[in-house]
Amino acid sequence: MTTLPNNHYVDDAPYDPDEDIKSLDRPDLDAPSWQLIWRKFKRHKLGLWSGIFLLLAYLSLPFVGFLVPYTPNERNADHLYAAPQMVRLFHDGTFIGPYVYPITAEADLENFRWNYVEDRENPARLEYFCKGDDYNFLGLFRAETHLFCAPEGATVFLWGADRLGRDIFSRIFYGAQLSLTVGLIGITVSFILGITIGGLAGYFGGRTDWGVQRVIEVLRSLPELPLWLALSAAVPSHWGPMAVFFVISIILGLLDWPGLARAVRSKFLALREEEFVRAAEMMGAKPNRIIRKHLLPNFASHLIASAMLSIPAMILGETALSFLGLGLRAPAVSWGVMLNDAQNLASIEIYPWTAIPMLPVIVVVLAFNFLGDGLRDSLDPYSDH
Amino acid sequence: MKEAMIKRDTRMNAETTPLLQVNDLSIGFGDQPPIITDVNFSIDRGETLALVGESGSGKTITCRSLLRVLPRSAVIHSGTAVFDPKASAPVDLFSLSEKELRDVRGDRISMIFQEPMHSLSPLHRIGHQVAEVLTLHRGHSRASAKAEVVEKFRRVGFVDPERAFAAYPFELSGGMRQRAMIAMAMIARPELLIADEPTTALDVTTQAQVLELIKGLQEETGMAVIFVTHDLGVVANIADQVCVLRKGRVMESGPTDIVIGAPAHGYTRKLLAAAPAIPHSAQPSAARPVVDPILQLEGINKTFVSRAGSFFGKRREVQAVKNVSLTVERGKTFAIVGESGSGKSTVANIALGATAADEGGAIRYWPEKGALPVDVAHLDKSERQAFQREAQMVFQDPFSSLSPRMQIIDILTEPLRIHGIGTRKEQRERAAELLEKVGLDKNMLRRFPHAFSGGQRQRLSIARALALNPSLLVCDEPTSALDLSVQKQVLELLEGIRDDFGLSYLFISHDLAVVARIADEVAVMRQGQIVEQAAPDVLFTAPRHPYTKALIAACLEADVSQKINLQTVALGAGDPHTWPEAYAMQGSSLPPLVETEPGHLVRVNP
């Protein structure tokens, strides 16, 4: 530090007036955007963990038959409305590994309900890679090995059993197969419609844009639930569960696109004003090239984030429809179908575990929302802080 | 935690302590290395301190830290800011609680920001926003607050303060909004005003008036001002003390006449050398007729039709360009100067055929000397392709003009791919060659644009415009988003490639000083019309039109002895109806453009 007279201060650290214009200004930003987005997303812990959870959930879908002890429609006539069983580790103070107490049903003829009594004398240790009911592994071959199951003479109903004595834990996993994929199929339909229609409105503007905007407004003003009901009521009742499943997811997609179309349109309009797009136009690039090379790559990440935020709506939609009995029907298993069994207030009061399928709905919807939020926050990787 | 209150009796002499003393200030984001290191400055009562620096110097963070209005992740690592108001004991601003700080903000210390549109709430009448300070800090009733606000509005220059009180921000122009912001900042009679680039978003003539206003208010109230700016011209005109920042460190600080007049640090010298200046004395050269034109605009009009928001709404017409004629000579630079809304960028777009002009005018382009001109407004497909190879554009904003998803190599080869020129390998070689032409290194081909600084990105943008080997470049404010020192380098580059490749420029700028350097012919535009046109030495030494005179007078130079002549600025920048009679607008039309001397066109009644 040098202080000259008159309060004149001059920094005396070495200074080179000829800065090298060939050196990178921000080497940390020298990466493709997806890498920068990932770098930023990693710092959003809630979003990151939600993403990992959802990834695991989706990856496990094909292996559900192996992971759970029962198959979805396996009835256990002796254990109607069985209460959830605890998995314990210590019996009489000694460690004997995970086990359950076998339960037996007793009819309570005063209240007309089943009570279950644990047999505390005979702990039943869980078995692993054991034989159970057979299921279709990956849709390729029949298999009957389960990760764990109860030994002969005992049951393992982790989250209880329903009115037909089916294991709720296993059914929730099977239900995930449909409930989680309904969102993906729906979002695909909604994506295709949203991008095409929103893109057209954004690119051509003028009357096309005006028309699309009004259609969207009309669609958005329709009350959602009655519309779903009307559309699903139109599905012929003799169709098989899979056909109904596809139709339902397409219906959900058909009603979801306006939000996405709006997002696409506004992003399109904003990007068209960017100077790099104008530069490409002045170089003589055709609209097709501008859309493919300049517009789409720049809003792909926004689209993914908005998709993540619309999937929960689809999952909730399927649940609501099935709950009302207008979506998927038994023997298909989805969370909404399971909740349909819990419509009866009395049964929830006496057997509260029949409402457990609400938990995965809540967890998955929250996870998608956190993931979507995390993605949205990391979309602009170039802003500093 | 430091002691919030420093006992008054520990002070040696109350009169000589500065109003604000900042010591050893360090600020960082999260756990990253600090971006502000060991900044010290002090400001006395009634004094003006300028914090000067280029982008990334930390000047804004520094001034915002005083009121702790920082981005969420910013942390003040160390330092004290002892504020010593008249009415109470001195306090350290950094150790006040949020609640105590609220009593200081807007009351003892107030702040104005760069962008007046974003700092006023669009939903509230301006008067009420300003009056809020009084009701919050002074416990005024609504009526008495209104009376005071109206009085303040009159003082800051509103012609009809009652109407301004009831206006919404969008009803006012940028300059007027900034005046309202100043009124808001001044209403509680603060002892310290922090002005964060308050004039950067304004036109030069408005800037001169706003600066004058701040200076006048300061003399009246005796407040101190911290003025954050990148413009040494502003500093020389307004500051008593200067503090030059670079990358979060103080490079040099001291009294303005010493720092600006006899800078001791290399960085200050470099900044001063880079500040463009208007030549004061030059021999006007004799006018030469244009013998080899490359581009000619004749009688160009452009009317924009806006549909006022609704499908069925009435059409509203705005004439952005009125009867503009100009000729760009091959190998020379024709510059258009004007403030925002003058129609200069529209002319640039029309010249390239990117915007269609109204019927009636003509745009001619001569591919080579003596060839038949091409009619740019009516090109067929193959002619348009050929024209695009000949004429390219350099854009203003280096951060928006390069696609963030593309590598440099893709950006530079794109024009070649669009026009199907060369093989992949040849395109790559061409890209490397272009990079070297603009002073960058060919190992940057695989980099992404965001790794580059503003100046480097503007070089890339120029390289892309050169890819097709054009003869004409339209530069739309190519340097106005850049720091001064970088601006100079980019101008040098543009001059260099013009001379190397025999390029011709149509150069759009709002800055006369930039144009003075590069142009061979300058046209001054105002409200869609050219009001004066001449060679730069003629224009700058013998301007005729009051608007040109105002622009020249409003140019602030980094020279302490040059002060603004505000009368000239106010006269020329005002309503065209109030110009001297020979130049004034009659009804809705200006006088005709006449050649007063050879090569000097002025819109004046003969």
Q: What is the pLDDT of residues A349-360, one digit of tens each?
A: 888 888 888 899
pLDDT at B54 over 60: yes
pLDDT interval class at B334 (50, 70, 90): very high
pLDDT at A19 over 70: no
Which residues, at least 6 apart from B360, have a Cβ–Cβ distance to it below 8 Å?
A: B299, B301
The CA distance from A296 to the nearest CA of chain B, in Å, is 10
Give the per-residue pLDDT at A289.
87
Using an 8 Å CB-CB cutoff, list chain B residues near A278: 354, 393, 395
Tell me the average pLDDT across B104-132. Answer: 85
- Rounded Cα gap, residues A54 and A370, in angstroms: 11
**A280 with B414: Cβ contact below 8 A:** yes
CB of B455 within 8 Å of any CB in chain A?
A: yes
The CA distance from B379 to the nearest CA of chain A, in Å, is 13
Tell me the average pLDDT across B221-243. Answer: 89
pLDDT digits (tens, 9 = 90+) for A318-375: 888 888 877 777 778 888 888 887 777 777 788 888 888 889 999 999 999 999 888 8
- How do beta strands A8-10 and A2-4 pair? antiparallel
Using an 8 Å CB-CB cutoff, list chain B residues near A276: 400-403
- Rounded Cα gap, residues B244 and B53, in angstroms: 6
Quote the strand ranges of A77-140, DSSP E.
88-91, 94-100, 103-108, 113-118, 124-125, 127-137
Using an 8 Å CB-CB cutoff, list chain B residues near A6: 254-255, 258
If one counts every other C-beta atom within 10 angstroms of the C-beta of residue B507, the result is: 30
Q: Are A258 and A216 in contact (CB under 8 A)?
A: yes
Nearest to A25 among B267, B418, B452 (CB): B452
pLDDT digits (tens, 9 = 90+) for A207-216: 888 898 898 8
Give the per-residue pLDDT at B569.
81
Which comes out higher in pLDDT, residue B506 or A303?
B506
Using an 8 Å CB-CB cutoff, list chain A residues near B402: 276
Nearest to A10 among B264, B384, B456 (CB): B264
pLDDT at A53 over 90: yes
Q: Are B404 and A298 in contact (CB under 8 A)?
A: yes
pLDDT interval class at B242 (50, 70, 90): very high
Quote the strand ranges of B63-198, DSSP E.
74-83, 91-92, 109-112, 192-196
- What pTM, to 2 d.p., does this model score? 0.80
- Rounded Cα gap, residues A351 and A161, in angstroms: 9
Which comes out higher in pLDDT, residue B21 or A253?
B21
Tell me the average pLDDT across B98-112. Answer: 87
Q: In what order do the strands lie in the sheet with B91-92?
A: B36-43, B20-29, B74-83, B91-92
Q: Which of residues 380-439 of B touch A (CB under 8 A)?
A: 384-385, 388, 392-393, 395-397, 400-406, 414-415, 418-419, 439
* Burial (Cβ within 10 Å: 0-12, 13-18, ≥19) of residue A27: exposed
DSSP track, B128-142: HHHHHHIIIII---H
Q: Which residue, B5, B71, B2, B76, is CA-closest to B38?
A: B76
Quote the strand ranges of chain A, DSSP E.
2-4, 8-10, 88-91, 94-100, 103-108, 113-118, 124-125, 127-137, 141-149
pLDDT digits (tens, 9 = 90+) for A86-130: 888 888 888 888 888 888 888 888 877 888 888 888 888 888 888
- The two tokens of residue B416 are 């070649």
pLDDT digits (tens, 9 = 90+) for B446-474: 888 888 888 889 999 999 999 999 999 99
Max CA separation in chain B (angstroms): 87
pLDDT at B30 over 50: yes
The b-or-e profile of A93-130 (16+ CB within 10 A means b, else e) is: eeeeeebbbbbebeeeeeeeebebeeeeeebbebbeeb
Q: What percent of chain A has pLDDT over 70?
A: 96
pLDDT at B281 over 80: no
- The two tokens of residue A216 are 């969207």
- The two tokens of residue B270 are 């470099």
**A4 with B254: Cβ contact below 8 A:** yes
pLDDT interval class at A18 (50, 70, 90): low
Residue A254 falls in which region: left (phi positive, over 0), alpha (psi -120 to 50) or beta: alpha
If one counts every other C-beta atom within 10 angstroms of the C-beta of residue A136, the result is: 11
- Rounded Cα gap, residues B164 and B126, in angstroms: 7
Give the per-residue pLDDT at B11.
42
CB of B99 within 8 Å of any CB in chain A?
A: no
Which region among B282-286, B300-304, B486-490 has the lowest average model confidence (pLDDT)? B282-286
Give the per-residue pLDDT at B425.
92
The CA distance from B71 to the nearest CA of chain A, in Å, is 8
Q: Are B468 and A284 in contact (CB under 8 A)?
A: no
The CA distance from B130 to the nearest CA of chain A, in Å, is 31
Tell me the average pLDDT across A286-310. Answer: 83
Q: What percent of chain B has pLDDT over 70?
A: 94
A vs B, Cβ pairs < 8 A, gives 140
Nearest to B251 among A11, A382, A385 (CB): A11
Taking each helix axis from N to C end, the angle separating A358-377 and A296-323, rounded to the nearest 10 degrees, works out to: 170
pLDDT at B3 over 60: no
When mean pLDDT is compared over A23-27, A48-52, B319-323, the highest value belongs to: A48-52
Averaged confidence pLDDT in chain A? 83
Interface test with chain B among A4, A7, A11, by most B beta carbons within 10 Å: A11
Using an 8 Å CB-CB cutoff, list chain A residues near B409: none
Residue B140 to residues A152, B125, B154, B187, B189, Cα–Cα distance (Å):
84, 18, 19, 12, 14
**A21 with B456: Cβ contact below 8 A:** yes
Interface test with chain A among B73, B247, B405, by most A beta carbons within 10 Å: B405
pLDDT interval class at B417 (50, 70, 90): very high
Tell me the average pLDDT across B156-182. Answer: 84
- Rounded Cα gap, residues B54 and B33, in angstroms: 20
**A385 with B267: Cβ contact below 8 A:** no
Length, in residues, of chain A: 385
Which region among A78-87, A118-127, B168-177, B561-570 has the lowest average model confidence (pLDDT)? B561-570
Residue B154: what residue type?
R
CB of B251 within 8 Å of any CB in chain A?
A: yes
Tell me the average pLDDT across B378-383. Answer: 86
Tell me the average pLDDT across B330-346. Answer: 89
CB of B255 within 8 Å of any CB in chain A?
A: yes
Nearest to A6 among B30, B254, B459 (CB): B254
- Rounded Cα gap, residues A346 and A342, in angstroms: 9
Residue B71: what residue type?
P
Nearest to B265 among A11, A276, A385 (CB): A11
Using an 8 Å CB-CB cutoff, list chain A residues near B418: 280, 283-285, 289
pLDDT interval class at B309 (50, 70, 90): very low
Using an 8 Å CB-CB cutoff, list chain B residues near A27: 451
The CA distance from B156 to the nearest CA of chain A, in Å, is 34
Which residue on chain B is closest to A278 by alpha carbon?
Answer: B401
The CA distance from B299 to the nearest CA of chain A, in Å, is 23
The CA distance from B409 to the nearest CA of chain A, in Å, is 13
Interface test with chain A among B265, B456, B468, B492, by most A beta carbons within 10 Å: B265
**A26 with B71: Cβ contact below 8 A:** no
Q: Are B357 and B301 in contact (CB under 8 A)?
A: yes
Using an 8 Å CB-CB cutoff, list chain B residues near A32: 405, 448
pLDDT at B430 over 50: yes
pLDDT at B544 over 70: yes
Give the per-residue pLDDT at B15.
53
Give the per-residue pLDDT at B6.
44
**B400 with A275: Cβ contact below 8 A:** yes
Give the per-residue pLDDT at B2.
42
Which region among A131-135, B106-110, B294-298 has the lowest average model confidence (pLDDT)? A131-135
Give the per-residue pLDDT at B224.
93
Q: Are B228 and B243 in contact (CB under 8 A)?
A: no
Interface test with chain B among A3, A10, A210, by most B beta carbons within 10 Å: A10
Using an 8 Å CB-CB cutoff, list chain B residues near A210: 311
- Rounded Cα gap, residues A228 and A251, in angstroms: 7
Q: What percent of chain B has pLDDT over 90?
A: 25
Nearest to A22 among B255, B418, B440 (CB): B440
Interface test with chain A among B73, B427, B448, B452, by most A beta carbons within 10 Å: B448
Q: What is the DSSP letter of A150?
A: P
Give the per-residue pLDDT at B497.
92
Q: List B51's β-bridge partners, or say none.
A: B228, B243
pLDDT interval class at B532 (50, 70, 90): very high
- Rounded Cα gap, residues B370 and B147, in angstroms: 70
CB of B218 within 8 Å of any CB in chain A?
A: no
pLDDT interval class at B574 (50, 70, 90): confident
Using an 8 Å CB-CB cutoff, list chain B residues near A8: 252-255, 258-259, 264
Using an 8 Å CB-CB cutoff, list chain B residues near A15: 251, 265-267
Omega before residue A331 within 30° of 0, cis? yes
Q: Are B244 and B250 in contact (CB under 8 A)?
A: yes
Nearest to B393 among A6, A210, A282 (CB): A282
pLDDT digits (tens, 9 = 90+) for A155-188: 888 888 888 888 889 999 988 888 888 888 888 8
The helix (run of H) or strand (run of E) holding residue B507 is: strand B504-509
- Rounded Cα gap, residues A24 and A65, in angstroms: 54
pLDDT at A6 over 80: no
Strand, helix or coil for residue B47:
coil
Give the per-residue pLDDT at A284.
86
The chain A residues in contact with chain B (CB within 8 A) are 2, 4, 6-11, 13, 15, 17, 21-22, 24-33, 36, 210, 274-276, 278-285, 289, 293-294, 297-298, 382, 384-385
The CA distance from A385 to the nearest CA of chain B, in Å, is 7
pLDDT at B9 over 60: no
Averaged confidence pLDDT in chain B? 85
Give the per-residue pLDDT at B397.
86
Interface test with chain B among A207, A217, A282, by most B beta carbons within 10 Å: A282
Tell me the average pLDDT across B47-75. Answer: 88
